[in-house]
Structure 1
Amino acid sequence: MLHGLAHRVVGMFRRLSLLTVTTFVLSTLLVPIASAQPDVPIADPLPTPGASGIGLELTEVAQLPKSQPVPPPTDTRLVRYNRVNYLGEVPDGSGRMFVPDMNGELYLLDGGIQHAFLDLGAAIGPDFHTHRGLGSGFGFAAFHPDFRSNGKFYTVHTETGSALTTKKPDLPSPVDTQVHGVITEWTASDPRADVFAGTHRELLRVGFASYIHGFQEIGFNPAARWWDEDHHLLYIASGDGGIGVSTTVPQDLALPQGKILRIDPAGRDGVNGQYGIPRANPFVRKAGALGEIYAYGMRDPYRFSWDRVTRRMYMGHIGEKAVDAVYEVRKGANLGWSEREGIWEYRRGDPSCGVFPLPADDAKYGYTYPVTGFDHNRLSSQRPCADSGNALMGGFVYRGSKIPALRGKYVYGEGVKGLLYYAEEREMRAGGPMAASRELMVYVNGQLTTMKALVNDPNRVDLRFGQDAAGELYVLAKANGKVWKVTGARTFASCAPGHDVVAGTGSARSWQPVTPALWQFPGREVVLAQPGAARPGPRRPFEYAVLRKGPEFGSVQVDASVRLDTPVGESNRDVIIVFGHRSDTEFYYAHLSSDNKIYPHNGIFVVNNADRLRLDHQWDAVRSVGAAPAVTDTAWHRVRVKQCTDSGEIAVYLDGSPYPLMTAVDKTFASGRVGFGSFDNVGRVRDLRVQGKGIR
């Protein structure tokens, strides 16, 4: 099932090494096998997903009613506009969409008209629990594939109160159970109705040790045919109840917590006679194991989905303190929690709350490792075991027809900050190297924005995803209760640069340096041979030369090869590409550095009669880190800088990558000249080519 340890770890770094961002090819960087690595916590398990240069166009389609948990919660994370957490299409050909609100209501959206289809909270009664625990309340809804004819759909909710003493869980549950997770089957008398009327019955009840990590998503495989083993079978994501951090419950096949379960709602051979246990389940004939288990070793298996083409199942898993990941889930798979977190060892009780290198004998355990993901980028100022404020929201492989740029991409996100990511599905294979994830931009009405700006909440977006029957994608946010449809995709800085071209720029006559004595022009190359010095006026690069050959440019594309001649041992090495130059105190520049940990390094900047101002989206001021270091050696590197003056979009690419290393939006200067230089280092440029709209 799994490849060897060395192949796994080496392959992962081929996809995810920082060198990927800098060279934009799959790196062949080799790392020592697990046993040779220092046995200390891994400080930065995964690199931050780089920019993709792709932006999703979002169109608002609904805002669901405001709602609140009852009684009012003390946890402010539960106090949102509402708690909508999914969108799907009713499988009856009507085009109606359904949206569950964790505070109790199930809504239908029909051509822009909203219907309160089912008040689940009222139907359950006073034991319905919503006010404690992020997963509490009406967790999810799934409609039977034959809903049009049988009227059946399924829900998951939480109960406390008298249920804890008057109702008995059907599967093994903790002695000190704090909350029940309940799966219910509802049968509508008229499947076409906008408001539910009919009957319901309880299928399955399980107890959990805390108010977190209970039942999460439930669903049917939409790709299953009548001859497939999972046709009309219900999958249930069951969290570890919050105790996997200190126990081996997720690894225990006698317990339902920390597993994906698979049951037959039409069967009757389950322990309570209300559901069936599929004979094809992997542990049906294993002594002491629950036949309901499909896969195991999970902490918080929050969302799962199937690729409609490959029919593979992908699951978004929220990690403990270091790594959130996406897994390809196969029958009988053990995802490793709470022995593993991501592709590293997790040690219960370790005060660092970190992850460690895999042991030398890891292969014998047969764990299934993730196919993509991200780490928590914990701040050094945070307590080691404090909540990092990250939560991976599993999504979908896009197989719709409306947005060709997204085809074959698994779109997912980080829920708290509202970041959108994707990985290529063709690279996401269990047992293989991890696929690189990249960040998607967000546009509304043609304007670049962010999910935080859209919901007008700087703290929590509470991002979720949805999908319709045609495979088109939706984005939801609890922060303002809105639903957006992904209606298009655009490439950042995609303007046509124009037809004016300047090349053959090696002559000294083509350049105007700040300090001519520091420069050499041996022919093909332009060399800054001596470092410059700070000059009066605003803080800006010390030394640069402006290209005087040819016209000024509006929208422009600058292509060149650059080299940093300063010794690699110096951490602040840099060269700059100047563009939009109007005067010595009015211009843009792209700073290409071997360091990305301080404000003035490795970014896109503007000088506008004031100290240089950083513009790029990649700079994280809280963590004091930017895009991956652009140049870390003394080799030649190909760089492209593109400026679109109409939109203000600026992108910097390296070594032929289709993915920008840095991006920014600014309209300060609509035209100017280009140049090359450095702050206080030495370097050179060759093969300079400038193409754009000449301003004469």
Structure 2
Amino acid sequence: MSAFRSFTVAAVLVLTGLYAPPAVARAEPAPVDDPIPEKPTPSGLTLTLEEFASFPKTETIPEPTDSRLVRWARINYLGAMPDGRLFANDLNGKLYLLDQGRPKEYLDVGAAFAPDFVSGRGLGSGFGFAAFHPGFARNGKLYTVHTEWGAALTTKTPDLTPQPDTRFHGVITEWTATDPRADVFSGTRKEILRLGFNGQIHGIQQIDFRPSARRGDQDYGLLYIAAGDGGRGASTDDPQNLAIPHGKILRIDPSGTNSANGRYGVPAANPFAGEPGKLGEIYSYGMRDPHRFSWDGDRLFLGHIGEHAIEAVYDVGAGDNLGWSEREGPFLFDKADRCHLYTLPDDDAGYTYPVAAYDHDPPPGHPCNADSGHAIVGGFVYRGTRLPLLHGKYLFGDIVDGQVFFTVAAHMNERTGRRATIYQPKLVDKAGKQVTMPDLAGSSRVDLRFGRDGAGELYLLSKANGRIWKVTKADWTLPDVLPSLRAGLVAAYDFEHPLPGDPAQERDQGLSGTNITLVNGGAGMRVADRAYRGSTYALQTRQVDPGTAGNDDWKAGTYGQEGVPTLRAFNGVQGVTIMGWFKLLGQGPAPNSNTADPADLYNAIGLAGVLSGDSQGHDVRALLELITVNGELRVVALARRVDGGSSQTFAATLPWQRILPRNQWVFLAATYDFDTATMRLYKDGRPLDGSYTVSGDPWGVEGDPEPDVTTETDPRGIKIGGSYPQNTREQNPCDCRMDGLMFLDRVAAPGEIRAQYELVR
């Protein structure tokens, strides 16, 4: 957002998470071969898609010269009228209302503007979008955008400065229905705004009203207009030129009259209103193809289609400059080099960078100046009520290949500067069979779009076959996890899922996609041992050579010096739960390999924990472990609420040998309630008696009426079977086997812990 434009380049680089901070300042920007190395993370989330609507076949006007325009029906959006009725538009000219999924023609925009109307030139040409005024039930007003050419280029004049050699017009029209309740439009129309574009791509992509604005709000009734750069941004400074509308999001008041053409108003709150030489209509700028935007409350998320490599989601605010064509995402764009993006210059400032992004990753040998077929389609943050596992997740995808992605909206925070992790859910049909969008669309080019109804439920659309699917179910593919625990399951490891191509890593089966490394032992740490019903493999951890000081012990986990963003669910939480199956093989604790005394033992046996946001690899936010308490080894729950603050320990009363008998699988759980300053331990679903080892208020929860939560920093990782998962030091190795490890971002109830044990034992 604009409040954070003053970052230095070093801060921008660190916060974007693209690079580690350099040891010295860069003198010159450097080319980047793989701008975003990380790939979307496979998720355990499964979305069920059921066909909702099928549209009649339509044809472009005129016949297309581009085979990509040959579609069954070019359905471009599904939305809800203010009264809840659903509508959808076909770029070839029709506006439909949907009655129980059956499309019925409401308005023929193409016919209304014939013969100037064009839908057969350019992927976005035609009847692009419709937006119903929030007061439609009273005033009957709706707005459309369509494309014109032919005689319109000489008989009609753009209202704002057009691009040179204009070949197409983007036209916004206000329609007033005589009866807003009618199922077929009848009424009047008037033109509001006409823009002139040089190219047949990147015209006006979307128009819309902020749905959360209410009467009396400053933003109520203001129309947002996403105007692309007309294809000229890669060779000109049009998107940075504040005197023209191209490559901008505009905001106008359709009921006002203070614009140059007198047919709409320029809101005084717009960031450049009244400034000489700048268009008052501009809300934000620096865009190539601002394809789809939506709001989550007051936050405007934009899916922005890139030029060279970067497909990005932005959190757009008034006055923000997304940088095109000086920047593409968080990189320098060089108009003279179409084969590379570049690292940012030292004096970088004044730009807004993506909160989520992925790159094209063209196949080997692909020409550097050719399109590799990727283009983002923005979607929506789910705030419906039917699918609680989707709550707070931003669903979006790739137009071309139809991949579906999601991020966590709370993680798309420009204040942190780190891009949110992109996850890829599984898609299944009504029968539960796994499918892909090309399967459903019947084409390798899906032309994917997203829609949302008045209740916040989500839909996927394809132009390829003119169909719409509703997301009817969201579930985790975790048959061994109690359903009530799945929504809070940040990370889960069953050691049955090695990362393809790297068996030394284990894939997370929980929400976060936080893969872990099997340190030192690699794939050999995966051993056949049945911990519970349905289990095949378990994790083996152990001390390798007690007589030699070194970092060779088998353990598992992940570590990031700047924090692990995928574990952000543990930031600012009131509670955590850790549970899993454990089998102790050795006597324990292990000999201290850092001393020459063979009788010197470590004072702890590591099981599993989440690191703090400032951990050197040992300090934890929440930990299940065995440690020495008053000279005696005990099973404990240990945690700190505040980074760098004091920790509290809850130690089980029973001797540890009775809780963890050698060579016997045991289900252990620990809960950490930071608001009430309580911890609990469980064995095989039953609570264990215990006591706290630190008197007073080590977590600092007293005297504040607000809920007490952990620090708002990304944990630096997960450690399993020992300390320091970055493999720089040994401190508490465990000769153990572990399985079914689960890390939750809330306190599980005693009944849930018991039920989880009973589910799989």
Query: TM-score if structure 2 supplies the norm length?
Result: 0.65
Gaps of 5+ in 1: 18-28, 498-525, 532-540, 566-574, 578-634, 637-654, 659-683
- 1:224 Cα deviation (Å)? 1.0
Find 1:299's aligned residue among 288, 292, 296: 288
Partner of 1:688: 737
Give 1:494's aligned residue.
479
Q: Is residue 307–residue 397 contact of structure 1 (8 Å, CA) maintained in 2?
A: yes
Deviation at 1:52, TM superposition (A): 2.0
In the aligned structure 2, how far is the partner of 1:190 from the partner of 1:57? 38
Alignment of 1:129-278 (within 5 A): 129-278=118-267
Query: After the TM superposition, which residues 61-460 of structure 1 pair with which residues of structure 2 at under 5 Å, given as runs?
Result: 61-92=52-83, 95-308=84-297, 311-352=298-339, 354-363=340-349, 366-431=350-415, 432-445=417-430, 446-457=432-443, 459-460=444-445
Give the whole-Å Cα distance in 2 for the aligned partners of 1:281 and 1:128.
31
Structure 2 counterpart of 1:12 = 16
Looking at structure 2, the residues matched to 494 and 37 of structure 1 have their Cα atoms a distance apart, in angstroms, of 53
Coordinate RMSD, CA, aligned: 3.3
- Letter of the structure 2 residue corresponding to residue 411 of structure 1: L
Within 2, Cα distance between the matches of 1:91 and 1:138?
Answer: 21
Partner of 1:26: none
1:381 deviates by: 1.0
Residues in 1 aligned to 2:544 and 2:437: alpha-carbon distance in whole angstroms = 38
**Which amino acid letter does the alignment assign opposite residue 195 of structure 2?**
V
Q: Once the 2 structures are TM-superposed, how far is the Cα of residue 135 of structure 1 from its aligned partner?
A: 0.6
Q: Secondary structure at the match of 1:486?
A: strand
**Aligned residue pairs: how many?**
528
* Structure 2 letter corresponding to 1:451: M
The secondary structure found in structure 2 opposite 1:85 is strand
Query: What SS is found at the alignment partner of 1:87?
Result: strand
Mapped to 1, the partners of 2:81 and 2:131 lie a distance apart of 9
Structure-2 change in CA distance of 1:558 and 1:245 (3 Å): same
Question: For each residue in 1:669-688, what CA deviation from the matched residue of structure 2 results, as whole angstroms up to 9, or x when unmatched?
Answer: xxxxxxxxxxxxxxx99622
**How far, CA to CA, are the matches of 1:163 and 1:178 in structure 2?**
10
TM-score normalised to structure 1 length: 0.71
Q: In structure 2, do the counterparts of structure 1 residues 528 and 312 end up closer, same or farther at CA, with 3 Å as the change threshold?
A: closer
Shift of 1:244: 0.2
Given residue 437 of structure 1, which amino acid in structure 2 is its aligned partner?
I
Alignment of 1:660-675 (within 5 A): none
Larger deviation: 132-141 or 224-233? Answer: 224-233
> What does 1:529-548 correspond to in 2, within 5 Å?
547=528
In 1, Cα distance between equivalents of 2:271 and 2:390: 34
C-alpha change, 1:258 and 1:557, in structure 2 (3 Å) is: same
State the Cα distance separating 1:149 from its structure 2 match.
1.3
Q: Measure, in 2, the Cα distance between the counterparts of 1:32 and 1:452.
A: 46
Q: Does the CA contact (< 8 Å) of 1:339 and 1:346 recur in 2?
A: yes
Say if 1:657 and 1:202 are closer, same or farther in 2 by CA, change over 3 A: farther
Residues 74-132 of structure 1: per-residue CA shift (max 9 Å, x gap) = 2111111111011101112xx31000000110110022332111111011111101111
Residue 37 of structure 2 corresponds to residue 49 of structure 1: no
Quick one: percent identity of the two aligned structures? Answer: 50
Of 448, 462, 474, which aligns to 1:463?
448
- After superposition, what is the alpha-carbon deviation per residue over 1:419-468, rounded to whole angstroms, capped at 9, x for unaligned? 111112112223522212111221212222111111122x2111101111
The answer to whether the Cα contact below 8 Å between 2:149 and 2:167 also exists between their aligned partners in 1 is: yes
**Which segments of 5 or more consecutive residues in structure 2 lack a partner in the other structure?**
483-517, 546-553, 557-616, 619-716, 721-732, 741-756
Query: Does the 8 A contact of 1:321 with 1:388 survive in 2?
Result: no
Q: 1:32 to 1:249 in 2, by over 3 A?
A: farther
For 1:10, what is the secondary structure of its paired residue? Answer: helix
User: Structure 1 residue aligned with 2:50, among 51, 59, 79?
Assistant: 59
Letter in 1 for 2:459: Y
CA deviations 1:284-336 (Å, max 9, x no partner) are 1211001111111100000111103xx11111100001101111111111111
Distance 1:333 1:554, change over 3 A: closer
